[in-house]
Structure 1
Amino acid sequence: MRRSLLRAAPLALAAMLALSACVPSEAEGDELVGHVSVTSFEVAGPVPAPTGGINRAGSARVPVRGYEPVGDVQPWATLVWAHGGSFIRGTLDWPEADWVSRSFAAAGLRVISVDYVLASDTVKAPAPSNDVAAVVAWAGAEYGGPLVVGGASAGAHLATLATLAQAERAPERAAAALLLEYPTMHRTQRVDPQLADAVAALPEARRFRADRIAEMYSFYLGSGLTDGGPLVVGELPADRLALLPPTIIVNADADELRASGEEFADQLRAAGVPVTERIELGTVHGYLNRPDESASAREQSAATMAHFVSELRRTLSL
């Protein structure tokens, strides 16, 4: 097992810290900010047209935002990224989408950030993951070079399902790596008394108690599922998890969902999938949505991004 608790190297950290000065914008059309080109467009979704009733299929068109390095820099991989938000909220302007994508693009990746349909009273699983999967399939066909998929929190869950869908439907363009930031993968995660003590003093808004996790998944999944219906990632059998590519996981420190990320890492290893883990010290869940909250937040967020980039280059042998 490889689990890193180290900060990024000083030079890499300094380079990533400079990215925090980039201010997210609406990204109408083409835009140049912080040596990154930003373009908003749409990708064909998993369904030809919206349907009535409960939508479990996805969207006819999926809004995305593309980020690319400018100048003579050629992207060394294409990353499809999904923000978090408990399956029910989040936008392309959230720092967890925009700031993260700019950071990856400044490090030389092409990033496609996905505005997947959110779960609601009329949208249920697997519609959100189907949207992400449609964008992954499009990116795999549109661009050459390594294909990478990633996401944060609930977005990490959706990214994993989309990665599996791509591996099963188009193995010749399967993702070469999977990036997971403080992922939630289980409706019922294993109990960790030590972690429970570490989060006991957190404000309630930052807590993910067992009942809150169960309610989140219950709303996302909805009722009336039949055999073969959508499952949560942590409940998939080992033979399906074995289809996943090498996976890089970063967990927040004082975060009850860390138990899910660590449990999922163990499941991947048992299925034969290479995994690296890191705990970003001093953080709580969702810290990449607050990179400018304080000097320490900037340092922690930059360290996470530098770690993802360095581990991804190592994984891809670049």
Structure 2
Amino acid sequence: MGNLDAQVRELLTSLSDEPPAQPWDVSIAAYRSAGEKLVALAGEPSSACDVRDFEIHLSGRAVGARSYRPKGAVGGVPGVVYFHGGGFVRGSLESHDRLCRELSVQGGLSVIAVEYRLAPENTFPNAHDDAMNSFHWVADHSDELNIDRNALAVAGDSAGAMLAAATAVGIRGHANSAVVKAQGLLCPVLDATLASASVEQYGTAPILSRPVLEWSIDQYFPNVRDRRSPVASPLMKESLAGAPPAVIFSAEVDPVSDDARRYAATLEASGVASEFCEYAGMPHSFFLLAGVLEEGERAIAGFAEKLSGLLH
């Protein structure tokens, strides 16, 4: 395993008195509740954006959403539809509130965070459908959201990054689609078959281990054959030609670190521009721990800047 950053080691030591519950040992509700406790490590939420909760009404269902807009922004601004991480099982508008606020303020972006349906109650392709349909909804309602319809991105972290990438590369097949101008991925899970070498190399990593990763995939993809679908796993696509340019930030000590590297390489081989950055010594989802990890704060700032640059 790679060398963990000193701040990460210090954080893990401080948390060692209360080791995280393994998801298979507790109820789904308890596992989700434990994840929400990490919000305390995210850092102080910015007050420099206007925040509003609402619902996105889709066919036969409604999903929760939260809008972030920089205070004082005038007219339609570039927009980002954001999908939170959490292994398809947990995560919420609250767990990623601070991150979305920073993307909005630092990037000058209107961020729409989507609370898609979670597993195991909802399995593939429900979350993927929510992501795709929510992007269409935001594009169709861009005027009332005060978003520039011609400057729309999708973004997400971990499992949410799979939803973002799947939307980015899949939306071209829909008639009269709004265009995804950019995709932003943080520590993405992009291969549901878990074929990346890093899954073995960093199988005992903190924050996300191989057993927890495998358990999470089992909850959302109970049908093993679905995991090889290019609709599900963007890395199953032979070519990514025509996909929007990407900003991809990953962590070194992470079972899915190779997913980010493979995706960036496939984009480049397909003639698509991508900016890839791996943070040495960092574990999965380190940017959600920006209140205690300096690299997490730097990653958020860099990600906001790069994604904004693709939209402005």
Normalising by structure 2, we get a TM-score of 0.75
Q: Distance in 2 between matches of 1:73 and 1:283?
A: 37
Q: Would you say the 8 A contact 1:136–1:166 is kept in 2? A: no
Shift of 1:74: 4.9
User: SS in structure 1 opposite 2:72?
Assistant: coil
- The answer (yes or no) to whether the contact 2:169–2:234 under 8 Å persists in 1 is no
Cα distance in 1 for partners of 2:213, 2:225 equals 19
**Shift in CA distance, 216/315, structure 1 to aligned 2, threshold 3 Å:** same
1:173 corresponds to which of 166, 169, 178: 178
* Gap runs ≥5 in structure 1: 1-18, 23-32, 49-59
The equivalent residue for 1:189 is 195
- CA distance in 2: counterparts of 1:80 and 1:225, whole angstroms: 28
How far apart are residue 201 of structure 1 and its match? 7.3
**Alpha-carbon contact 2:170-2:231 (below 8 Å) kept:** no
Q: Which residue of 2 aligns with 1:306?
A: 301
Q: Is the 8 A contact 2:205 2:254 kept in 1?
A: no
Q: Aligned partners of 2:152, 2:89: CA distance in 1, in Å?
A: 27
Deviation at 1:302, TM superposition (A): 2.2
Residues 77, 146 of structure 1: 8 Å contact kept? yes
- What is the one-letter code of the residue matched to 1:301? G
Q: Identity of counterpart residues, as a percentage?
A: 25
Task: List gaps (5 residues or longer) in structure 2.
Answer: 1-41, 143-147
User: What is the aligned counterpart of 1:38 among 45, 51, 55?
Assistant: 51
Distance apart, 1:269 and its partner CA: 1.7
Q: Does 1:162 align with 2:167?
A: yes
* CA shift digits 1:185-226 (9 cap, x unpaired): 112333259x93xx58744xx3433x5544432331222868
| Counterpart contact for 1:221–1:230, Cα < 8 Å | no
**Structure 1 pair 201/127, CA: closer, same or farther in 2 (3 Å)?**
closer
Question: Which of residues 130, 133, 148 in structure 1 aligns to 2:153?
Answer: 148
Q: How does 1:143-292 map to 2 (within 5 A)?
A: 143=142, 144=148, 145-170=150-175, 173-186=178-191, 187-192=193-198, 196=201, 199=202, 202-203=205-206, 206-209=207-210, 212-223=212-223, 231-238=232-239, 241-292=240-291
CA distance in 1, matches of 2:257, 2:225: 28
Partner amino acid, structure 2, of 1:100: L
Measure the CA separation in 2 of the matches of 1:313 and 1:289.
20
Name the SS of the counterpart of 1:308 in structure 2: helix
Quick check: 1:66–1:113 contact (8 Å CA) kept in 2? yes
Over aligned residue pairs, what C-alpha RMSD do you find? 2.7
Superposed displacement of residue 281, structure 1: 3.1
Partner of 1:113: 113
Equivalent-residue separation in structure 2 for 1:141 and 1:305 (angstroms): 28
Q: Which amino acid in structure 2 is aligned with residue 190 of structure 1? A: S
Contact 1:153 1:183 in 2 (8 A): yes
Task: Report how many residues are paired.
Answer: 262
Q: CA deviation at 1:170?
A: 4.8
- Render the CA deviation track for 1:234-287: whole Å, top value 9, x for unaligned: 21231xx22320011000121121111111211222222211101123321021
Q: 1:21 aligns with which of 40, 44, 50?
A: 44
Q: Is residue 2:139 matched to residue 1:137?
A: no
Between 176-185 and 137-146, report the one with greater CA deviation.
137-146
* Cα pair 2:81 2:153 within 8 Å, conserved: yes
Query: Does structure 1 retain, via aligned residues, the 8 Å contact 2:69–2:104?
Result: yes
Query: Which residue in the other structure is 1:103 paired with?
Result: 102
Instruction: Show CA shifts across 1:267-310 (max 9, x none).
Output: 22222221110112332102122222x2xx1x222211221222
